[in-house]
Structure 1
Amino acid sequence: MSLPRAVKIVEVGPRDGLQNEKQFVSTDVKIALVDRLAAAGFQNVEAASFVSPKWVPQMADGAEVMAGIARRPGTIYSVLTPNMKGFEAALAARADEIVIFGAASEAFSQKNINCSIAESIARFEPVARAAKENGIRVRGSISCSLGCPYQGDVPVTSVLDVVQRMAALGCDEIDIADTIGVGTPKRTREVLASVTKVFPRERLSGHFHDTYGQALANIYAALLEGIEIFHASVAGLGGCPYAKGATGNVATEDVLYLMNGLGVETGVDLDQVVAIGDFISNAIGRTNVSRAGRALLAKAKSDESAC
């Protein structure tokens, strides 16, 4: 299969990227991050999370962030909603899309939310129904689609089962997520080749972590399977809670550099994203883990000094 002509990059840095930061990131910085990303051309920005502050204190200011952003026409602002209370907050915040999440691994589901996969999906039925009634998009994210920190290998049949359950809820998009970054291109293609038989290819997205340095290779493998939506986090924000010291989300700058090199359109300005990566890294005192971002920053500084 030939590569897609264009892809959509979902920027997850403001939510998935920042949620694991131990020091609270100010609301003003979060708002500036979301606004700058939207201005760079992202069609979809994961902006906030409406979960209990007890569990994710970093996301306690979700309502303030959503109230403070300068909404750009055509941009989808997504929020994570684990239950009806979260959905009601998302509705009040005028979210364009809610994100619900399940796992392809029974061990992961039991260990993290103390219930089976089937029970976890059932909990989202009223949330998805309410979203549809209010004209809000629903995205389903499937953790551990390429491997689990507790059970190891995850059968493709398990991924297919959850995809079909998510589809039955009415999900507009479904994320195939490599939560701990153990996937390889061969496995990525096997999983996606199977999943595309039960859910529309154009509504599937790849969410790859770079723990083992395989994220870009897996994204290329997904492109070969016709996947047209990918998640990424500016400056590589976000750690992997199941692999201490490991990197988490693939860096947006690296993904954009890859797409530009392949001639695949994204509609996103790489230079702006490099500057945004520098901005947020400095704002939170964190090392920018994007290789392309660091290289392009160094090149820009070198060019400036040569003038």
Structure 2
Amino acid sequence: MGARELGLPETVPSAGLPGRVTIWEVGARDGLQNEQTVVPVEVKAEFLDRLADAGLTVLEATSFVSPKWVPQLADAEELLARLKPREGVKYPVLVPNERGLERALAAGRTDIAIFASATETFAHRNLNSTVDGQFERFEPVVARALDAGVRVRGYLSMCFGDPWEGAVDVDRVVRVSKRLLALGCFQLSLGDTIGVATPGQVERLLGALGDAGIGPGSLAVHFHDTYGQALSNTLAALRQGVSTVDSSAGGLGGCPYAESATGNLATEDLIWMLDGLGIEHGVDLGALVETSVWIAGRLGRPSPSRVVRALAK
């Protein structure tokens, strides 16, 4: 029986949660960037089209990183040229530096993201920089983007744990968060890059950010599911007022610079929980499951999403 014939979970609302959640879908970028075999550009384009058809309205499409570092994303310009503009659908791209911004602007992008680290070791390994030094790279990028009328999102990695440094000090995360928002980022996505966080840590960090004047309206969360905590951490964030959640169709993805990082929170698993809580999101779960089964077939392995496996039987 296909996903469309199966029922949704019983809806039992819970107090203190947002009425609607924006899903920031990262499957096409974060989900595919680690694939060892290059995925054909036409497959990537169809993947994005299918995700949009399913009702997702924020689709992180690609990154203008050097092909030398991430060969999978060498086709960024060609991929974006294949996408048909859709009313109400955004295709943000990741931009690592000024050269990446120039490419994004030439491709007509209106939404970009920069990628920062809360820890020194990851900043060195991922950005060949320091925590302070990374801002010297970001400042001209954000300034030029804002001058061009482009919205800038900030990703902050290693907010809860670092594979080389261990637990990450909350005050450090707050300091870096404040600096990213001060640059002009409209939103900050807090990343549990290696998936070690638990709900108490999420509540503590969001509380500390709130005390520092950073409310949930300018925050998103990005959880990896290494220890099976992504959904529980997401619920903890929702209870603190966060209403934007990053996830990846079928649970694809990881982090090329942190070997212990496994897949992102699966969008289907997130939607099943949101449906059960009566939280609006605008996505057709059946169509999304079919899309994840389709892309899993192209990648030659089953989807790790529990909801995909349950509904695709």
Aligned position for 1:123: 137
Counterpart of 1:189 in 2: which secondary structure? helix
Partner amino acid, structure 2, of 1:99: A
- 1:76 is aligned to 2:90: yes
Q: Which residue of 1 aligns with 2:103?
A: 89
8 A contact 1:203–1:229 mirrored in 2: no
Q: TM-score of the superposition, structure 2-length normalised?
A: 0.92
The structure 2 residue matched to 1:110, chosen from 124, 137, 140, is 124
* Structure 2 Cα separation of the partners of residues 280 and 71 of structure 1: 22
Partner of 2:242: 227
Q: Cα offset for 1:243?
A: 4.0
Q: Please tell me whether the aligned partners of residues 30 and 254 of structure 2 are also in contact (alpha carbons under 8 angstroms).
A: no
**What is residue 288 of structure 2 aligned with on the other side?**
273
Match of 2:309 in 1: 294
CA deviation profile, 1:88-125 (whole Å, cap 9, x unmatched)? 11111122211101111122212333321111022111
Asked whether the equivalents of residues 293 and 302 of structure 2 are also in contact (C-alpha less than 8 Å), the reply is: no
1:240: how far off? 4.4
Compare 111-120 and 212-221 and name the one that shifted more.
111-120
CA RMSD of aligned residues (A): 1.2
From 233, 255, 260, the equivalent of 2:275 is 260
2:60 counterpart SS class: strand
What is the letter of the counterpart of residue 262 of structure 1? L
Segments of 4+ moved more than 3 angstroms: none
Counterpart in the other structure of 2:12: none
Matches within 5 A, 1:41-52: 41-52=55-66
Measured in 2, the distance between the counterparts of 1:196 and 1:273 equals: 34
Q: Which residue of 2 aligns with 1:216?
A: 231
What is the number of equivalent residue pairs in this alignment? 297
Q: In the aligned structure 1, how far is the partner of 2:126 from the partner of 2:176? A: 17
Aligned equivalents of 2:84, 2:215: Cα separation in 1: 32
Q: Secondary structure at the match of 1:124?
A: helix
Q: 1:200-231: CA deviations, max 9, x gaps?
A: 31120000000011000000100110100000
Within 5 Å, give how 1:124-143 maps onto structure 2.
124-143=138-157
One-letter amino acid of the counterpart of residue 56, structure 1: V
Q: Determine the structure 1 residue equivalent to 2:252.
A: 237
The question of whether the paired residues in 2 share the 8 Å contact of 1:277 and 1:288 is answered with yes
Quick one: higher RCO (CA 8 Å, sep 6+), 1 or 2?
2
For 1:304, the equivalent position in structure 2 comes to: none
Give the one of 297, 300, 304 matched to 1:285: 300
CA–CA separation in structure 1 for the residues paired with 2:263 and 2:175:
26
- What is residue 167 of structure 2 aligned with on the other side? 153
Tell me the alpha carbon deviations over residues 113-142 of structure 1, each in whole angstroms, 9 at most, x when there is no partner. 332111102211111011111111100000
Instruction: Give the whole-Å Cα distance in 1 for the aligned partners of 2:273 and 2:245.
Output: 12
Question: Which whole-Å CA distance do the structure 2 matches of 1:240 and 1:292 have between them?
Answer: 23
Structure 2 residue runs of 5 or longer lacking an equivalent are 1-14
Separation (CA, whole Å) in 1 of partners of 2:210 and 2:222: 15
